[in-house]
Structure 1
Amino acid sequence: MTELPGYLAAAWGKQGKPTRGPKPALSLERVIAAGVSVADAEGIEGLSMSRVATELGTKPMSLYRYISSKDELIALMLDRAGGPPPPMTAEDWRSGLELWSRSYLATLRAHPWIMRVPITGPPATPNQLRWMEAGLRLATGFAPGDAMAVLLLLSGYVRSWATLSADLESANADPETMMVDYGAVLDAVVTESEFPELTKAIRAGVFTFDPDEDPDVDFVFGLERILDGAESVRSD
Structure 2
Amino acid sequence: MWGRETESRHGPRPSLDLARIVDAAIGIADSEGLAGVRMSSVAARVGMATMSLYRYVGSKDELLTVMADAATPEPPALDGRPWRDYLADWTQANRNFLVDRPWLLSLAHRTPPTGPRTLRWLDRALAALAGTELDLGQRINIASTLTGYAATQASLTHSMITVAAATTSAAGDGSITGLADYGDILGQVLDPEDYPELTAAVRSHAFGTAEKWIDDADFTFGLDLLLDGIQALIARRG
For this structure pair, what is the TM-score category when the shorter chain's length is used for normalisation? 0.7 to 0.9
Aligned length: 222
The 1:218/1:51 distance shift into structure 2, 3 A limit, reads: same
Shift of 1:106: 1.8
Aligned partner of 2:34 in structure 1 is 44
1:190 equivalent in alignment to 2:203: no
The 1:53/1:195 distance shift into structure 2, 3 A limit, reads: closer
Shift of 1:32: 1.1
Conserved? CA contact 2:38–2:60, under 8 Å:
yes
Aligned residue for 1:64, secondary structure, equals helix
| TM-score, normalised by the number of residues in structure 2 | 0.83
Aligned partner of 2:171 in structure 1 is none
Gaps (5+ residues) in structure 1?
1-10
- Matched residues in 2 for 1:85 and 1:210: separation? 27
1:166 pairs with 137, 144, 158, which one? 158
2:140 pairs with 131, 138, 148, which one? 148
Conserved? CA contact 1:88–1:100, under 8 Å:
no
- Matched residues in 2 for 1:190 and 1:42: separation? 41
Aligned partner of 1:5 in structure 2 is none
Shift of 1:83: 3.1
The AA in structure 1 aligned to 2:219 is F
Shift of 1:199: 4.5
- Matched residues in 1 for 2:32 and 2:213: separation? 31
- Matched residues in 2 for 1:28 and 1:116: separation? 22
- Matched residues in 2 for 1:208 and 1:83: separation? 29
Shift of 1:202: 3.9
The AA in structure 1 aligned to 2:177 is D
Gaps (5+ residues) in structure 2?
166-175
The AA in structure 1 aligned to 2:110 is T
The 1:108/1:21 distance shift into structure 2, 3 A limit, reads: same
- After superposition, the CA RMSD in angstroms is 2.3
The 1:72/1:199 distance shift into structure 2, 3 A limit, reads: closer
| TM-score, normalised by the number of residues in structure 1 | 0.84
1:176-229 deviation line (CA, Å, top 9, x unaligned): 42221112322xx122xx544334434433246354997232211111111111
Aligned partner of 2:25 in structure 1 is 35
Aligned partner of 2:169 in structure 1 is none
Aligned partner of 1:79 in structure 2 is 69
- The higher-RCO structure (CA 8 Å, 6+ apart) is 1
Task: Between 212-221 and 94-103, report the one with greater CA deviation.
Answer: 212-221
Aligned partner of 1:179 in structure 2 is 183
Aligned residue for 1:232, secondary structure, equals helix
Aligned partner of 1:220 in structure 2 is 220
- Matched residues in 2 for 1:213 and 1:65: separation? 42
Aligned partner of 1:12 in structure 2 is 2
Aligned partner of 1:135 in structure 2 is 125
1:126 equivalent in alignment to 2:116: yes
The 1:135/1:28 distance shift into structure 2, 3 A limit, reads: same
Shift of 1:90: 5.8
1:13-70 deviation line (CA, Å, top 9, x unaligned): 2333233221111111111111111111111111001111111122111111111110
Aligned partner of 1:93 in structure 2 is 83
Conserved? CA contact 1:180–1:208, under 8 Å:
no
Conserved? CA contact 1:79–1:125, under 8 Å:
yes
- Matched residues in 2 for 1:195 and 1:68: separation? 53
What is the aligned-residue identity percentage? Answer: 33
- Matched residues in 2 for 1:42 and 1:214: separation? 22
